[in-house]
């Protein structure tokens, strides 16, 4: 199983220096590093309003945004946690903030993340004017010490490397075992990621790049803007998989990886609790995950409160594993009503339906599944499949057919 590769952004503080505003964040991806993120003042003020960074809570920034079509505003969220309790709070953000999030989400290595123009490891904001919230300072002084330690470590590391070089130690491989090499790489990555290219290889801009021969990076994806989607723009097609996770999940992912195509998984909350490793495997390989309710009921037959419960429970089960916000939902049986739309609007999620259904759950026949899709127009299609051995058997032929039709097989976001 692949190593977990999800990105987690913890908000530590908010600072300003002159007319610039910075978020101090802890970014976890391959390793952990504290960074300054320059953002616009309006988004910063909105974050200040909903957070209290001097308290005992921790705050995790979502990597996703949604567009409120009624107000023409982008909405992101922050998850507030304390012990075993968590609360997700939405806030209005700027287009610039959204674009920055997309850059963080799509960058494929820590070495390239550190080079993004709005991120910095410099102490440019540490001694700046502090933004206050409820008459309290958002940034405690104690946060200045880790950066002093980083620079002290940097100086020490440079001296050690120079000493080792002049004593001809570095080239004697017999004196360095694998554990020593791994530790040295981690230390260097924490100290000066943008100068040590041998630690994390530079990432090409090509989407086909594969990291460590196991983690598929740069997969094609399409961000859905509509609150309810039955189809995609022409030239694109989405393979979606319902009712997982299951014993078939990882094999489906491996087939998608082999062909370097996108895929979207809609998980049932009860199955998430049974197969958490399968959820991690889907996420670590870069595929999209949505909710398919907690217990697979017909949403249209439930009152508003029960629909909320089905959505929130399943979303929470997934998010506790992935540490990323779930923004996609597929109603079981495609059954929804006005209240379902209201629930999704209230919780800022998008409903993903379909326009090609080979009814694989009924036939359980790989040949029939393929023939149905082969006779359909795949351009702009959202294809619904279910996790099963028959789908696994049919999937390579389905992908090859869609590729022969010159269609872009995307993950939905």
Q: Is 172 considered catalytic here?
A: no
Could you say which of 127, 309, 386, 393 is catalytic? 386
Where are the chain's structural domains?
Answer: 1-203, 210-412
Please report the pLDDT score of residue 360 as a whole number.
97
Does position 70 have pLDDT exceeding 80, yes or no? no
Work out the average pLDDT over 96-123.
85
H/E element, 219: none
pTM score > 0.75 for this model? no
Of 228, 219, 273, nearest to 409 by C-alpha is 219
CATH architecture of 210-412: Alpha-Beta Barrel (3.20)
Could you say which of 64, 242, 292, 360 is catalytic? 242
pLDDT tens for 37-58 read 999 999 999 999 998 888 788 8
Please report the pLDDT score of residue 97 as a whole number.
95
Of 365, 402, 400, nearest to 383 by C-alpha is 402
Lowest mean pLDDT among 21-30, 85-94, 171-180, 195-204: 195-204
Please report the pLDDT score of residue 6 as a whole number.
55
Does position 111 have pLDDT exceeding 90, yes or no? no
Dihedral angle, C-alpha 90, 343, 324, 289, nearest 10 °: -150
As a whole number, the mean pLDDT across the chain is 78
Work out the average pLDDT over 321-333.
94
Q: Is 242 considered catalytic here?
A: yes
Q: Please tell me which of 63-72, 102-111, 354-363 the model is most confident about, judged by mean pLDDT.
A: 354-363
Residues 6+ apart with CB under 8 A from 344: 227, 311, 329, 350, 351
Please report the pLDDT score of residue 391 as a whole number.
98
Per-residue confidence at 166, pLDDT binned at 50, 70, 90? very low
Of 336, 333, 328, nearest to 352 by C-alpha is 328
């Amino acid at each position: 199983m692949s190593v977990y590769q999800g990105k987690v952004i913890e908000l530590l503080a908010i600072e300003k220096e002159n007319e610039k505003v910075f978020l101090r964040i802890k970014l976890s991806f391959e390793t952990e590093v504290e960074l300054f993120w320059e953002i616009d003042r309006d988004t910063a003020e909105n974050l200040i309003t909903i957070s209290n960074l001097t308290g005992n809570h921790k705050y995790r920034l979502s990597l996703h945004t949604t567009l409120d079509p009624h107000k023409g505003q982008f909405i992101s969220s922050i998850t507030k946690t304390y012990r075993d309790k968590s609360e997700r709070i939405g806030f209005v953000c700027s287009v610039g903030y959204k674009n920055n999030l997309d850059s963080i989400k799509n960058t494929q290595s820590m070495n390239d993340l550190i080079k993004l123009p709005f991120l910095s490891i410099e102490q440019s904001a540490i001694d700046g004017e502090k933004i206050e919230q409820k008459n309290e300072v958002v940034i405690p002084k104690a946060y200045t010490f880790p950066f002093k330690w980083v620079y002290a470590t940097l100086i020490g590391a440079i001296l050690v490397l120079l000493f080792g070089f002049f004593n001809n130690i570095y080239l004697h491989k017999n004196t360095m075992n694998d554990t020593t090499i791994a530790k040295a790489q981690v230390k260097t990555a924490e100290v000066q990621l943008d100068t040590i290219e041998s630690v994390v290889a530079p990432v090409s801009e090509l989407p086909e790049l594969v990291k460590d021969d196991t983690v598929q990076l740069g997969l094609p994806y399409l961000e859905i803007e509509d609150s309810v989607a039955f189809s995609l723009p022409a030239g694109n097609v989405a393979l979606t998989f319902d009712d997982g996770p299951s014993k078939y999940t990882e094999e489906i992912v491996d087939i998608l990886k082999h062909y370097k195509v996108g895929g979207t998984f809609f998980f049932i909350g009860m199955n998430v609790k049974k197969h958490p490793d399968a959820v991690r495997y889907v996420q670590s390989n870069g595929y999209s995950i949505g909710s398919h309710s907690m217990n697979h009921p017909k949403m249209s037959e439930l009152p508003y409160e029960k629909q909320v419960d089905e959505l929130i429970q399943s979303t929470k089960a997934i998010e506790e594993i992935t540490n990323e916000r779930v923004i996609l939902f597929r109603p079981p049986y495609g059954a929804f009503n006005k209240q379902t739309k209201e629930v999704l609007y209230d919780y800022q999620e998008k409903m993903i339906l379909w326009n090609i259904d080979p009814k694989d759950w009924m036939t359980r026949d790989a040949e029939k599944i393929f023939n149905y899709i082969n006779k359909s127009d795949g351009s702009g299609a959202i294809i619904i499949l279910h996790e099963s051995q028959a789908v696994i058997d049919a999937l390579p032929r389905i992908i090859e057919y869609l590729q022969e039709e010159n269609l872009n097989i995307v993950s939905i976001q």
